[in-house]
Structure 1
Amino acid sequence: MQEFYALIEAGGTKFNCAIADKQRNILVEKRFDTTTPVDTISAVIAFFKQQQQAGYNFRKLGLACFGPLDLNPASLSFGSITSTPKPHWSNVDIKQQLEKGLHCAVFIDTDVNAAALAEFKWGASQNTSVNIYVTVGTGVGGGVVINGQTLKGLVHPELGHMLISGVPEIKGVCPFHGNCVEGLAAGRSMAAIWQQSADSMKEDHPAWDIEAKVLGNFCHNLMVSFSPQSIVLGGGVMSKKGLLEKTIEYAEQSLKNYIVFPYNQGLKQIITAPGLGSRSGVFGALALILD
């Protein structure tokens, strides 16, 4: 009997919902705007109930969710979104609501931890012992996988709030930390800093060189903090032509040949685009189940 899985890539802008099988075939897919918790979660539950009625009987749901999250299984609020800047979503018990509404087991982790796990299993980070996935989009987030397990300590990685120095050209706009990666390099921050959307900036706009410098410094920090064999840079902002290559150049300049790489290895082999394209998040939800 074929087994089906429910998948949710829950972002601050969209909830991408899907039904898939073990072979990563996406059988049904639909996106919902992230509005209020009541409206969004109700729409998601209704969608999956329709799929159950259509014959996609699933017992497990993978939830790759924006955060911060409570990922401590011993906590009374396990599976809840905690103090997120997303309006109305703080302290929402999303895991519990989905389990009650759909009568299935829900496997939860951060969206970026899940994406890092998917890239480790099937994408650009295969055959590594330490890998990192970073999304540079409306915000900036990062997930870490060590020896095939997502990193969860006191809470979970918040790599987007790593402080960045050496970029005097701009002032970060993060309401918590100012000059952190998210405050300097997220699409939302770029729009605030430059008074125009990143989408509307031409390739020769000075913002892109500064963006690459910020991300290059960020990759420097990731290299000396985690010693990863793979850093995957995804998200809408990274789709800008030439940004990945320029980021690698700035990371190389920042590191100043301090790290001695194995033979035939260098930052060009370590810092890459996603191997799964735009599917890292939704396949991350599947990876949480299969893991």
Structure 2
Amino acid sequence: MDKKVIGIDLGGTTVKFAILTQSGEIQQKWSIPTNILDEGTHIVPEIIESINHHLSLFTMKAEDFVGIGMGTPGSVDRQKGTVIGAYNLNWKTTQWVKDEIEKGTGIPFFIDNDANVAALGEQWKGAGENAPDVVFVTLGTGVGGGIIMNGQLLHGVAGAAGEIGHITVDPDGFMCTCGKKGCLETVSSATGIVRVARKMAEEYAGSSELKTWLDDGQSITSKDVFTSAQNGDHFANLVVDKVCYFLGLAAGNIGNTLNPSSIVLGGGVSAAGEFLRSRVEEHFLNFTFPQVGESTKIKLAELGNDAGVIGAASLAISK
């Protein structure tokens, strides 16, 4: 039997697992809730328990696997297999994840940052079409990313390569949690889009259902902004265009610097689909020089929630 691989996508609410072939085909999937109680001390033991339980269900053994790959929030030391600073997991101190999981399962273990891992998934089996040069931008609660060049994930000297959410797009803009002003994350994340809408509503004088909601102090989401825009709300369209301008500017800078075959937009905000993609592309083309505009494509992610487990599996396969 050809050896399989296990991919794990560790998130703040759910841990997703998959057993895959080495060609990236998912054969089994399951998930468990992420137990962040007691400073996250239950997370790794429960991952080990879940793997061992499912292997016995499927009558499989440790020897049937080439490895386990995992994507995680926080700062990752890939060599030591440790994680620190994953605050949505309640991990405030260094977690020796690799040592514990290898000891608990008997299977070789590999780990990387969750945005990098999702990038690997989309590059390998998704919109990246297995091309060697792909940049992934994830638009969710924050903005993250991963850069793959010449088939290699870029990490940078401090592991901070691919921090696309912290590209400056508006030097006089909103303060970011990182401590500087005008990061892409402050205007193009799910929360950032709402922030842009609130700011623009202060100066908009026309009639708009979205502006009425904001003026009434109602709580709105980025989805509300895009839905209103698609329904023809003029103010909502101005907000979407502003957000897409910033995304196009950041994508243009990435394109002019790296010239990947594609810049793939993923995460919850990308559910706006072609309505988002085409507008980002329009601004992207204004910010790139001709050869980049012609050769680098703006695409939508294709794998959805499977990007993390597929990318995690590829970590173990490539090692």
Aligned residue in 1 for 2:76: 69
Higher relative helix content: 2
Q: Is the 8 A contact 1:69 1:80 kept in 2?
A: yes
What corresponds to 2:82 in structure 1?
Answer: 80
What residue number does 1:243 align with? 276
Whether the 8 Å contact between 1:173 and 1:189 is mirrored in structure 2 is no
Q: Displacement, 1:13? A: 4.0
Aligned to 2:313: 286
Partner Cα distance (1:192, 1:94) in 2: 37
CA distance in 2 between partners of 1:8 and 1:109 (Å): 11
Distance 1:253-1:175 versus aligned 2 partners, 3 A rule: same
Corresponding residue SS for 1:89: coil
- Distance in 2, matches of 1:63 and 1:259, equals 39
CA distance in 1, matches of 2:191, 2:52: 34
Q: Distance in 1 between matches of 2:312 and 2:20?
A: 10
Q: CA deviation at 1:266?
A: 4.5
Residues 94-135 of structure 1: CA deviation (Å, up to 9, x unaligned): 223322222221111222322333333333323634211121
Q: Which has the larger radius of gyration?
A: 2
Aligned equivalents of 1:140, 1:24: Cα separation in 2:
26
Q: Distance in 2 between matches of 1:185 and 1:125?
A: 22
Q: CA deviation at 1:240?
A: 1.1
Residue number in structure 2 paired with 1:126: 129
Whether the 8 Å CA contact 1:33–1:40 is kept in 2: the answer is: no
When the two chains are superposed, the root-mean-square deviation of aligned CA atoms in Å is: 2.6
* Residue 230 of structure 1: how far off its partner (Å): 1.5
CA contact (8 A) 2:261 2:295 kept: no
Contact 1:32–1:40 (8 Å) recurs in 2: no
Q: In the alignment, which residue of structure 2 is the partner of 1:159?
A: 163
Q: Which residue of 2 aligns with 1:260?
A: 291
Deviation track 1:151-197 (CA, whole Å, cap 9, x = no partner) reads 123133242342323487x6254353342122322224445664522
1:48 corresponds to: 51
- Equivalences for residues 90-129 of structure 1 within 5 A: 90=92, 91-126=94-129, 128-129=131-132
2:53 is equivalent to residue 29 of structure 1 = no
Paired positions, count: 279
Instruction: Decide which of 44, 47, 57 is 2:61's aligned counterpart.
Output: 57
Name the amino acid aligned to 1:52.
L
Asked whether the 8 Å contact 2:6–2:17 carries over to 1, the reply is yes
TM-score between both structures, scaled by the size of structure 1? 0.83
The corresponding residue for 2:247 is 215
Q: Give the unaligned 5+ runs of structure 2.
A: 199-218, 230-235
